[in-house]
Each structure stands twice: as structure tokens, then as C-alpha cells.
């Protein structure tokens, strides 16, 4: 059976590389490079000298080791200093690398080439990201600025096993985040060429377009032109997510395909219109070169995100295939694209954009291969009604397949599922492909001449119609379907089964359903934490009798609070049972769970409450240091524990208490703030 699929073996190379990368990130401590190098040397030698099944086994091991080594090398290459604790007000200077504008007087700056009092060459972060709420309309990429700001380390997960921003910040070389407490003072302008030039062009175009339009539909137009979505309100983004069409604003495979495909068709048509030109010259290849140029330009203007890079690499292979008169849209194209991205940016494997974009592409290409073999695509050649019918069918199939492929990843990362995504995509994708994206191309052509007003208005009209559809769909019953947090094991089993079904072609591919069902079953058996504590001990959550989380302290707008509710598929804290509410005052909160009435849980806010709570409570969560004075309770988590370990999760058994911290989940890795504090023996919190 395996020998009959010999032509598909190469498709598993990026999967094996991904397994090696996953093993690297799953390690409890930073691996040393020598074992990986030795394993690579042994596997490479065996792949050359052995034969038969053992040879392919060594090739598989070699691919996994290469992925492991690529991740380890990448981690060291991007290494940069990061601050260890919150600073006071700093006067700092730097070069503006990126400007994200949320409102007229609200933006976020990414600064590089930094300097600040007390920072040395070995302690200065490569980049910092600072929120600015003061006047700063004149700040642009490439400018040298000064400001006063408070900086903090990039935050870790708000719950063990949750999204780790600090890990992504490490690979972005982002050493601190914070907020400005003064206006931004422009002191100069960077010289020469650099990435800031492209950022400046993008910012100029975005400002220019926003000045001519307004509202979310105008901001959506800017997102389609420059890839910058910061100006779109959170309400509109949530509406698009619930409707299942937020992906249309992320410049990725669909957008790049529409842009390059439109350029290819238009250029080829214009060249064919020249008498005799098509008979004497390869105008099809010329059009392919023009489409590649348009794709590269769009890549730069969109900020070159992971989905855009993947889409550009894929489109490059497609048009190179056209240049060579070869069929390029194959699963091998997807495999080559994945290999390139994984080796250049191994951390992208963990990103939602990589997972969702490749899930959709792999599923669509698999369906395309079956359709080409079955011949139903050829049905589009014929009368206009038949072609229209095939187009509608293709849009429906594409939306259904892509939605099914990405739906699991949306549930895993965002804890929601777009129930009516097929309906919305069938209505919105034709608008995007036939109306909006052609006008986006016209905007690019018109910008140098100052004629962008008309095409911009056309794009805004298309966005308005798309938004009307999204708002209607988001009001349908069950549109906002919340999904509880899924365990990593479920992710691994579902992905393994999905790849098995899509990469093989013989009947045995259906065995992939088994691990997928096992992953779903495991999700039902996984037990969520009974207690959650944020990294400062100011807010905690306890699971009530109904399964809802009951909040102890904290602001309603607390990020940890919002994250916990989302992961629990819970919309409002008020949905908790009336008898499950805590008793709170200025000193702290006392809570006795209905499911465990024998336990008394205390959240301590001020030191004055500590003696009494330590004497009467079974579990004490203290935002202040408890030292050794709190010996009576079964479990004490104080300010020092949270400083060393970050957010905590607790599981209550019949006769035991199990605890897991973010630090334990992260392990001794370079991006872990808690590991760095342990290794460098930094000052303890006050």
C-alpha cells in the first residue's frame, strides 16, 4: 500500500520538518545543539549508505532533525536583550520602525536603535512597542523621536498552555512593551535605505486613503491596500469573525491570487489586442512576469506577513510553471512553500496564520486534484449559464472546504466557530474577487497621479455591502458559537488525521478519521482548571457549580479575565449561579465553591487581611508576599510565587490539589521571563 503511494512520499517532508520544530518548542529546557548535529550527521550518513525501508526511515529522521536544528539556530540568531521587570518613567530615544494608528490620538509605535539612561549596549532591547495616547499625527516611520515612557517585559500567557506573546516577541526581537506618558518629540530623520522606507510608503498611503474616507469601510480599504488593520474597530472585526469572513482582510492566498490573477489576465488581454504580437512573441509568459511583479509589490505593501509570504511563494511557483508551460498548482507546490517557510521562520509553525492558511490551501489543492481527475472542472467550458453555474459551485465548494479546514484552528485559537461561514463566504467572496480587488489594483495604478478617489470609493462601496452581509449573518441564531479551550493533544491528533486524509490518495487515507475522532474524544475527557490566578494575584477565577467561572476581584476589562471567559466559552460573568458569588471588600474576597463546600478560598489584596485568611482559609491567593507566616492552608500562592511562575492554574481533587504555573509550562527557554529571572537572579518584586 505504501509503495503504491511512492509519488506522494515527498509531501511528508515538511510534515516531518514540522515534527522536529514541534519537538524543539515542546522541550522543557533549551536543548544544546550538539545532539541534534550528531543525529543529523548519523541520519545523513545512513541515508546515503543504507538501502530499502531503513533508508527511508533515516531520511524521515533527518528531516525531523533538520527542523529541530532550524528552530534552535533561529532562536539563537534572533536573540536580543529583554527587560526583566517594569521600569519607572524612562526618557528614551529611538527610530520609528512602524506606526499603527487606532484613532486620531491613539497609536502604537515600534521603535528600534534605542537609547535610554542606564541602558548599556548589552542590555538595550532591539525593539520596543509603545502605546501613545497623545497628539502624534506627525510621527512617521524612519523618524528619530524622543519620549518618556513606562516599559514592561513582554507578557507571558494569562493561563498555562495559553497563547504565549512573549515567545512571539522573542522572535520579533521585541524586548519590551509599554505606554508613553509624554508627547512624542521628533528630533530627526533616518538616512539611507532600509525597511523603514517601505514602512514609510505604507504609512503614507494609509494616511492618504484614510484622509479621503472614514469609518470602518474606509479602514477596511486601507487594510486591503497596505495590510494595516489597526484602524478597524474591534466591533467590526468581531462581526467579521463571527460571520466567518475576517480572512478576507488578511492579505493572504486569496488576495494575492486575485491580484496576480487579475494582472495576468489583463496584461495578457492587452498584449493579445496588439495585432501580430501574440503570434510572434510569448505574451503568456510576459503576462506571467507582470503578475509576479505585481505580487512582489503587493507583498511589500502588505507588510510581508507570514500568510502573504506563503501566498507569494506559492504564486511564484505557479507563474514559474506558466513560464515553463507546466501545471504548477499541485500538492508539491504547497510542500515546497511549507519547507521554505519552515526553514526560514520555524516559529511560524506555531502561529495561527500559518496553520489556517496552510490548512485551507492543502484542503483546497487536494479537492482540486480530485476535481481535475474527475473532470468536473471541465464542465465550465461551454455556454455562459453553464460557466456561471460552475463558478457558483466552485465558490460554494471552496468556501465549504476552506471553512471546514480552518474551522478547527479557529476553535482552537479563538474559541469560536463561524456557523454560517459558508453562507457569508458564498456572498462575500464574489464581491471581493469581481469588484473589490480589481479596484484595489486600480488604486495602486492611480496613486502616483493622485487619481485614487474614484477607485477608493468603489472599494468602500464593496466593503459596505460586505459589512451589511456580515452584520446580517452575525445576527442569525447560533452565529457566535463559543468553543471551550481544546488541549494540545487534540490539536496534534486532528492535524495528523487531516494530513493523512489529504496527502494520500488511496483508500487507506480514510484511516485518518481514527486519530481525528480520538482527538475529539480526548477533548471531552480533558478537565479544565478549577482555579485560575493572574500573574499579579489581583484577579482569580473559580469554577462554579454550573461550570461557569466566578470572578474574584479584578476589573471587568482585565485582559486575563477576558481570556479566561473566552477559553471557557463563557460570554458574561453574570451568568454564574446566584449562590456562587464571592464576598468581597477592600481587603480581598472570600469564596466557598458550591461544588466543594468544604473549601474556603481567600483572595488577599492587602497585607492586613493576610493573618485572618491564613488562619481560616484552605487556599490563599495573595497579591502581597506571605513569606513564611501562612502555614495553615493546603495551598498558598503569594506574590513571590506569581513573580517566579506567572499565572497559575489549580485542579481540585477529592483528596489532593494539583497546580501548574506558566513558568512550568514554558520551561527554561530564552523567551520565558521567569526562566531569565531564575537564571539571572533579578531583584524580587517590592
pLDDT at 400 over 80: no
> Is residue 265 in some structural domain?
yes
Q: Let me know if residue 635 belongs to a domain.
A: yes
Q: What is the mean pLDDT of residues 493-500?
A: 95
Q: How many CB atoms lie within 10 A of CB 63?
A: 22
Domain assignment present for residue 175? The answer is yes
Contacts 24+ apart (CB under 8 A), 317-323: 319/260, 319/264, 319/288, 319/289, 319/291, 319/292, 319/295, 322/284, 322/285, 322/288, 323/285, 323/288, 323/289
Q: Which range (14-23, 46-55, 93-102, 629-638) has the least confidence?
A: 46-55
Question: Is the per-residue pLDDT at 374 higher than 60?
Answer: no
Query: CA angle, corner 420, sides to 416 and 425, nearest 5?
Result: 110
pLDDT over threshold 80, residue 556: no
> Within a domain: residue 108?
yes
Give percent of the chain with pLDDT exceeding 90: 34
Cβ atoms of 406 and 254 closer than 8 Å: no
Q: How far apart are CA 8 and CA 504, in angstroms?
A: 7
Which of the four pLDDT bands, split at 50, 70 and 90, describes residue 144? very high
Q: Residue 328: which of 260, 272, 398, 381 has the closest Cα?
A: 260
Q: Is 507 exposed, middle or buried (0-12, 13-18, 19+ CB in 10 A)?
A: exposed
Nearest to 82 by CA among 662, 685, 674: 674
Least confident of 152-166, 462-476, 492-506, 582-596: 582-596
Whether residue 577 is predicted with pLDDT greater than 90 in this model: the reply is no
Is the domain of 139 the same as that of 214? no
- If one counts every other C-beta atom within 10 angstroms of the C-beta of residue 465, the result is 16
* pLDDT of residue 381 exceeding 60: no
Cell, residue 182: 509624554
Write down the pLDDT at residue 81. Answer: 93
Q: 516 and 478, same structural domain?
A: no
Read off the pLDDT of residues 433-446 as tens digits, 9 standing for 90 and up.
888 988 998 998 89
Q: Taking a C-beta distance cutoff of 8 angstroms, is the pair 626, 620 a contact?
A: yes
- CA separation (Å) from 224 to 20, 313, 614? 35, 19, 57
Q: What CATH number should be reported for the domain holding residue 171?
A: 2.40.50
The verdict on residue 200 lying in a domain is: no
- My answer on whether 519 and 536 are in the same domain is no
Query: How far is 381 from 388, CA to CA, in rounded Å?
Result: 10
Give the pLDDT confidence of 191-207 residue by residue, as tens digits: 877 778 888 888 889 88
- Long-range residue pairs from 503-510, CB within 8 A, at least 24 positions apart, any chain: 503/8, 503/11, 503/12, 503/15, 503/331, 503/362, 503/366, 504/5, 504/8, 505/5, 505/8, 505/369, 506/1, 506/4, 506/5, 508/1
Q: Is the model's pLDDT at 369 over the cut of 90?
A: no
Whether pLDDT at 585 is above 50? yes
475 and 492 share one domain = no
Residue 84 lies in a domain: no
Residue 159 reports pLDDT greater than 80: yes
Query: Could you write out the three-class secondary structure of 156-169?
Result: CCCCCCCCCHHHHH
In this predicted structure, the answer to whether residue 674 has a pLDDT above a threshold of 60 is: yes
Say whether both 497 and 556 belong to one domain.
no
What pTM, to 2 d.p., does this model score? Answer: 0.87
pLDDT single digits (tens) 598-646: 888 899 988 888 888 898 899 999 989 987 778 888 899 999 899 989 9
The larger pLDDT score, comparing residue 596 to residue 283, is at: 283
**Which residues touch 208 (CB under 8 Å, ≥6 apart)?**
447, 452
Confidence of residue 478 (pLDDT cuts 50, 70, 90): confident
Assess whether 583 and 630 both reside in one domain.
yes
- Rama region for 547: left / alpha / beta (φ>0; ψ in -120 to 50; rest): left
Q: What is the mean pLDDT of residues 261-265?
A: 85
- The answer to whether position 251 is within a domain reads yes
3-state secondary structure of 633: coil
Residue 680 has pLDDT above 70, yes or no: no
Reading the block at residue 589, the C-alpha cell is 474576597
Tell which of 51, 77, 103 closes a domain: 77
* Residue 469: domain span: 207-482
Least confident of 371-380, 425-434, 518-527: 371-380
Which own/partner contact pairs does 321-328 have at CB distance under 8 Å and 24+ positions apart? Answer: 322/284, 322/285, 322/288, 323/285, 323/288, 323/289
Residue 575: what pLDDT? Answer: 47
Verify that 478 and 492 share a domain, yes or no. no
Q: How confident is the model at residue 685 (pLDDT cuts 50, 70, 90)?
A: very low
Distances (CA, A) of 98 to 110, 306, 347, 348, 568: 5, 17, 22, 21, 35
Residue 682 has pLDDT above 70, yes or no: no
**Domain end point (choices 53, 77, 101):** 77
Q: Are residues 274 and 406 in the same domain?
A: yes
Give the pLDDT confidence of 166-177 residue by residue, as tens digits: 999 999 999 999
Does 343 share its domain with 459? yes
Residues 214 and 343 in one domain: yes
pLDDT at 229 over 80: yes
**Number of structural domains, the chain?**
5
What percent of the chain is modeled with pLDDT above 70? Answer: 90
Identify the pLDDT of residue 686. 44
Residue 378: per-residue pLDDT: 52
pLDDT at 196: 82
Q: Residue holding cell 518584586?
A: 685
Q: How confident is the model at residue 265 (pLDDT cuts 50, 70, 90)?
A: confident
Q: Is the pLDDT of residue 683 over 60?
A: no
- Counted residue by residue, the chain has a size of 686
Predicted pLDDT at 49 = 67
pLDDT top residue among 247 and 343: 343
Among 150, 114, 154, smallest CA distance to 132 is for 150
Residue 37 has pLDDT above 90, yes or no: no
pLDDT at 61: 86
- What average pLDDT score do residues 407-414 get? 89
- State how far the Cα of 515 lies from the Cα of 506, in Å rounded to an integer: 18
Same domain, 67 and 109: no
| 108 DSSP β-pair partners | 100, 131
Specify the pLDDT at position 92.
Answer: 94
Report residue 230 as a C-alpha cell.
489597526
Q: Indicate if the pLDDT at residue 388 is higher than 70.
A: no
Helices assigned H by DSSP within 50-193? 53-77, 165-171
Last residue of a domain, one of 136, 167, 191: 191
- Contact call for residues 602 and 620 (beta carbons, < 8 A): yes
Instruction: Summarize pLDDT for 62-92 with one digit per residue, the tens.
Output: 899 899 989 998 999 999 999 988 898 999 9
Cα radius of gyration (the chain): 27
201 belongs to a structural domain: no
Confidence of residue 334 (pLDDT cuts 50, 70, 90): confident
Average pLDDT of the chain is 85
Are both 670 and 540 inside the same structural domain?
A: yes
The pLDDT score that the predictor gives to residue 135 is: 64
Residue listed under C-alpha cell 472570600: 590
- The secondary structure element, H or E, covering residue 405 is helix 384-414
Question: Is 382 a residue whose pLDDT tops 70?
Answer: no
pLDDT at 53: 62
Alpha carbon of residue 136 to chain centroid: 28
Amino acid at each position: 500500500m505504501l509503495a503504491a503511494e511512492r509519488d506522494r512520499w515527498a509531501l511528508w517532508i515538511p510534515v516531518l520538518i514540522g515534527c522536529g520544530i514541534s519537538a524543539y518548542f515542546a522541550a522543557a529546557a533549551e536543548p544544546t545543539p550538539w545532539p541534534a548535529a550528531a543525529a543529523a550527521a548519523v541520519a545523513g550518513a545512513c541515508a546515503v549508505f543504507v538501502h530499502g525501508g531503513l533508508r527511508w526511515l533515516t531520511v524521515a529522521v533527518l528531516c525531523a532533525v533538520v527542523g529541530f536544528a532550524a528552530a534552535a539556530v533561529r532562536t539563537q540568531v534572533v536573540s536580543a536583550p529583554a527587560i526583566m521587570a517594569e521600569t519607572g518613567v524612562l526618557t528614551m530615544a529611538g527610530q520609528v520602525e512602524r506606526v499603527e494608528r487606532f484613532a486620531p490620538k491613539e497609536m502604537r509605535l515600534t521603535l528600534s536603535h534605542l537609547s535610554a539612561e542606564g541602558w548599556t549596549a548589552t542590555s538595550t532591547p532591539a525593539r520596543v512597542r509603545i502605546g501613545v495616547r497623545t497628539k502624534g499625527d506627525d510621527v512617521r516611520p524612519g523618524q528619530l523621536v524622543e519620549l518618556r515612557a513606562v516599559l514592561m517585559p513582554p507578557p507571558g500567557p494569562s493561563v498555562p498552555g495559553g497563547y504565549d506573546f512573549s515567545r512571539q516577541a522573542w522572535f520579533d526581537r521585541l524586548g519590551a512593551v509599554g505606554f508613553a506618558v509624554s508627547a512624542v518629540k521628533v528630533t530627526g530623520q533616518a538616512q539611507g535605505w532600509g525597511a523603514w522606507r517601505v514602512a514609510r510608503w505604507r504609512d503614507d498611503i494609509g494616511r492618504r486613503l484614510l484622509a479621503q474616507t472614514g469609518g470602518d469601510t474606509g479602514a477596511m480599504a486601507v487594510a486591503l491596500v497596505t495590510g494595516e488593520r489597526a484602524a478597524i474597530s474591534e466591533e467590526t472585526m468581531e462581526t467579521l469573525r463571527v460571520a466567518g469572513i475576517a480572512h478576507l482582510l488578511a492579505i493572504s492566498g486569496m488576495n494575492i491570487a486575485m491580484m496576480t490573477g487579475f494582472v495576468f489576465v489583463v496584461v495578457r488581454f492587452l498584449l493579445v489586442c496588439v495585432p501580430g504580437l501574440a503570434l510572434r512573441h510569448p505574451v503568456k509568459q510576459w503576462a506571467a512576469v507582470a503578475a509576479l511583479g505585481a505580487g512582489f509589490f503587493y507583498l511589500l505593501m502588505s507588510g510581508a506577513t507570514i500568510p502573504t509570504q506563503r501566498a507569494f511563494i506559492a504564486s511564484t511557483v505557479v507563474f514559474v510553471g506558466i513560464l515553463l508551460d507546466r501545471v504548477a498548482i499541485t500538492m508539491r507546490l504547497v510542500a515546497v512553500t511549507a519547507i521554505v517557510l519552515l526553514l526560514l521562520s520555524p516559529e511560524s509553525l506555531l502561529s495561527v496564520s500559518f496553520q489556517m492558511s496552510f490548512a485551507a490551501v492543502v484542503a483546497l489543492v487536494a479537492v482540486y486534484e480530485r476535481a481535475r481527475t474527475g473532470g468536473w472542472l471541465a464542465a465550465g467550458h461551454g455556454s455562459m449559464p453553464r460557466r456561471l453555474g460552475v463558478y457558483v459551485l466552485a465558490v460554494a465548494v471552496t468556501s465549504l472546504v476552506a471553512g471546514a479546514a480552518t474551522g478547527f484552528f479557529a476553535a482552537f485559537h479563538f474559541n469560536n466557530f463561524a456557523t454560517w461561514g459558508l453562507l457569508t463566504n458564498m456572498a462575500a467572496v464574489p464581491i471581493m474577487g469581481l469588484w473589490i480587488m480589481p479596484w484595489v489594483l486600480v488604486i495602486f495604478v492611480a496613486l502616483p497621479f493622485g487619481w485614487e478617489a474614484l477607485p477608493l470609493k468603489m472599494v468602500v462601496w464593496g466593503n459596505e455591502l460586505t459589512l451589511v452581509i456580515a452584520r446580517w449573518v452575525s445576527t442569525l441564531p447560533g452565529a457566535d458559537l463559543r468553543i471551550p479551550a481544546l488541549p494540545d493533544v487534540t490539536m496534534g491528533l486532528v492535524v495528523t488525521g487531516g494530513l493523512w486524509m489529504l496527502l494520500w490518495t488511496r483508500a487507506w487515507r480514510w484511516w485518518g478519521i481514527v486519530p481525528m475522532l480520538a482527538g475529539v474524544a480526548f477533548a471531552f475527557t480533558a478537565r479544565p482548571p478549577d482555579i485560575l490566578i493572574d500573574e499579579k494575584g489581583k484577579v482569580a477565577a473559580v469554577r462554579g457549580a454550573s461550570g461557569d467561572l466566578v470572578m474574584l476581584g479584578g476589573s471587568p476589562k482585565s485582559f486575563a479575565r477576558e481570556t479566561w471567559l473566552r477559553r471557557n466559552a463563557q460570554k458574561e460573568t453574570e451568568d454564574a449561579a446566584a449562590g456562587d458569588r464571592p464576598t468581597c471588600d477592600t481587603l480581598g474576597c472570600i469564596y466557598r465553591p458550591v461544588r466543594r463546600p468544604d473549601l474556603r478560598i481567600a483572595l488577599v489584596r492587602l497585607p492586613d487581611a493576610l493573618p485572618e485568611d491564613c488562619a481560616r482559609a484552605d487556599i490563599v491567593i495573595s497579591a502581597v508576599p506571605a513569606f513564611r507566616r501562612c502555614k495553615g492552608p493546603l495551598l498558598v500562592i503569594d506574590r513571590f510565587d506569581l513573580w517566579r511562575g506567572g499565572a497559575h492554574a489549580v485542579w481540585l481533587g477529592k483528596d489532593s490539589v494539583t497546580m501548574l504555573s506558566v513558568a512550568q509550562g514554558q520551561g527554561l527557554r530564552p523567551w520565558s521571563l521567569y526562566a531569565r529571572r531564575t537564571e539571572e537572579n533579578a531583584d524580587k518584586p517590592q
